[in-house]
Amino acid sequence: MSKLADHPVNVIGMGMSPLDLTTIHLDLIRNAEVLVGGRRHLDALPDTTARRIEIDRNLSAVVEQIKNEMGSRRVVVLASGDPLYFGIGSYLIKALGPRHVRIWPNINAVAAAFARLGRSWHDVVVVSMHGRPNEDALIDALKRATCLAVFTDKRRSPAWLAEVVAAQGDPGARLCVLERMGSDDESVRWLTPREAARENFREPNLVVIDSGVGENIRQPYLGLPNGQIAHERSLITKSEVRAVALSKLGLTPGMVLWDLGSGSGAVAIEGACLVGAGGVWAVERDAGRVAQIRNNCRRWGARFVHVIEADLPAGMDDLPNPDRVFIGGGGQALAAIVTHATRRLNGGGILVVNAVLIDSMQSALQAMRNEGLRTDVTHVQISRSRAMPAGDRLEALNPVWIVRGRKKT
């Protein structure tokens, strides 16, 4: 065994304060000849005679000092919370090698925060902004998660975070800022984004973000009853037809879906259940129906549906290229919409058109074939039971053609 392996670097999680240290942790610290840590952690242990190395922004220089000491002296590194949870532990294992590092875990800040809030955190999305330019990951998490825990730093502070949350347009969002957990002056405060944006906060801190998805918001699912989605007259894809159309689209997580001529947003909301953070772009030209779609999305917690008020086909120009396209309307512009959408469709993508009129079915089918799509047509005839004095009878709904085209890869 090498000399280095005889003296592994002990990396100790400090938890929220020295009170979280176990007897084993304290013995290792007491016997250390070199103690490495941030100023806050070193100041919390004034009674040791070990040589002290303060961790600063130049981590590579700190690692070089550790390498110089670890072969002959007992080195202990003090880490915030748990060393392997957004901590220095992974960095040291990579720099020194796993044989030369021993990790001693402790409670992490997220666990401590939710213990203070009296809530479980098994389904919480955690994002670290501490020294990390993770804005894209943060915004993605805000769109798809109902609860986040965010590690901050001086630049990406809770006030900065509040402005990012406010920009997402979630009117019910709230932030809980937990400052200096484990210290005598720790605080826990719930604030609106507007309130938090005006505050100054002490470090270190962690922010818990609750979205506006609460008791008044329902969990969307496939086959939503038409009566549960606000819509104008008959401008909604019936639930049974919607189920067939969604199956024809073959949606999977991460795909980008366009819902063109969205109407009530029913297809967009159910499609979002399947594509998740990939996102659904619901395009509708009528301002009243746009407001209706947004209200339906809020009611059903469809956070990853992007509602666009625009005419078609021009309204597609600024959208991300889709993997799947659903067209539920289009009128006389249907052929042009199909053509434009097909040309933007990613290779291997699928386009589905629901048509009530024979002319619309033929127009969509011909436009797809003109663009070289492999096509098929399904005729859907739905009948629902209706109570009569002597029993039930079946009442037919208008038939619908579902025209599907698949683009070559």
Domain extent, residue 296, equals: 226-406
Q: Predicted confidence band at 46 (pLDDT cuts at 50, 70, 90)?
A: confident
Instruction: Judge whether 96 lies within some domain.
Output: yes
pLDDT of residue 212: 61
Asked whether residue 17 is domain-assigned, the answer is yes
- Note the pLDDT of residue 348: 96
State whether 279 and 241 are in the same domain.
Answer: yes
In a domain, residue 203? The reply is yes
Distance of CA 237 to the CA centre of its chain: 28
For residues 131 and 55, is the Cβ–Cβ distance under 8 A? no
159/195 same-domain check: yes
Same-domain status, 239 and 289: yes
Regarding beta strands 280-284 and 101-104, do their DSSP bridges make them parallel or antiparallel, or are they unpaired?
unpaired
Q: How many domains does the chain fold into?
A: 3
- Residues pairing with 284 in the sheet: 309
In a domain, 369, yes or no: yes
Q: State how far the Cα of 61 lies from the Cα of 95, in Å rounded to an integer.
A: 11
Q: What is the pLDDT of residue 81?
A: 92
**Within-domain flag for 328:** yes
Contacts of the segment 140-144: beta carbons below 8 A, 24+ positions apart: 140/277, 142/168, 142/170, 142/209, 142/211, 143/168, 143/277, 143/279, 143/303, 143/304, 144/276, 144/277, 144/303, 144/304
Q: Whole-angstrom Cα distance, residue 365 to residue 342?
A: 12
d(CA 119, CA 204): 21
Distance CA 245, CA 326 (A): 8
Looking at 144, 178, 210, which one is the last position of a domain?
210
| Same-domain check for residues 231 and 337 | yes
- Report the DSSP pairing between strands 34-37 and 75-79: parallel
- Residue 6: the pLDDT is 60
Helix, strand, or coil (residue 179): strand
Closest CA to 309 of 237, 256, 261, 343: 261
Cβ 17 vs Cβ 44: under 8 Å? yes
Residue 300 within any structural domain of the chain: yes
Q: Strands 374-380 and 400-406: what pairing?
A: antiparallel
The answer on 186 and 286 residing in a single domain is no
Distance CA 141, CA 148 (A): 7
Rounded to a whole number, what is the distance in angstroms from the first to the last CA of the chain? Answer: 55
Average pLDDT over residues 114-129: 93
Same domain, 262 and 137: no
Structural domain contains residue 88: yes
Mark whether 251 and 367 lie in a shared domain. yes
CATH at residue 63? 3.40.1010.10
| pLDDT for the residue 3 | 47
pLDDT in tens, 228-281: 788 877 678 888 999 999 999 999 999 999 999 999 999 999 999 899 889 999
* Cβ(207)–Cβ(175) below 8 Å: yes
Does residue 245 share a domain with residue 391? Answer: yes
Q: What is the pTM of this model?
A: 0.57
C-alpha distances out from residue 239 to 222, 236, 266, 382, 394, Å: 9, 9, 9, 10, 17
- For residue 51, what pLDDT is reported? 95
Same domain, 89 and 168: no
**CA–CA separation, 80 and 206 (whole Å):** 13
Looking up tokens 């479980």, which residue turns up? 120
148 and 233 share a domain? no
Q: Are 100 and 127 contained in the same domain?
A: no
| Band of pLDDT at residue 215, cut at 50, 70 and 90 | very low
In a domain, residue 122? The reply is: yes
Predicted confidence at residue 2, as pLDDT, reads 47
State whether 90 and 199 are in the same domain. Answer: no
- Cβ atoms 266, 232 nearer than 8 A: no
**Cα dist. 138→163, 272, 281 in Å?**
12, 19, 20
Q: In whole angstroms, what is the distance from residue 79 CA to residue 41 CA?
A: 8
The rounded percent of the chain whose pLDDT value lies above 90 is: 70
Q: What is the CATH number of the domain that holds 163?
A: 3.30.950.10
Query: Of the candidates 155, 183, 210, which is a domain's last residue?
Result: 210
Mean pLDDT of the chain: 90
Q: Is the pLDDT of residue 221 over 80?
A: no
Encoding tokens for residue 390?
Answer: 């002597």
- Least Cα distance to 325 among 376, 256, 244 occurs for 256
The CATH number covering residue 362 comes to: 3.40.50.150
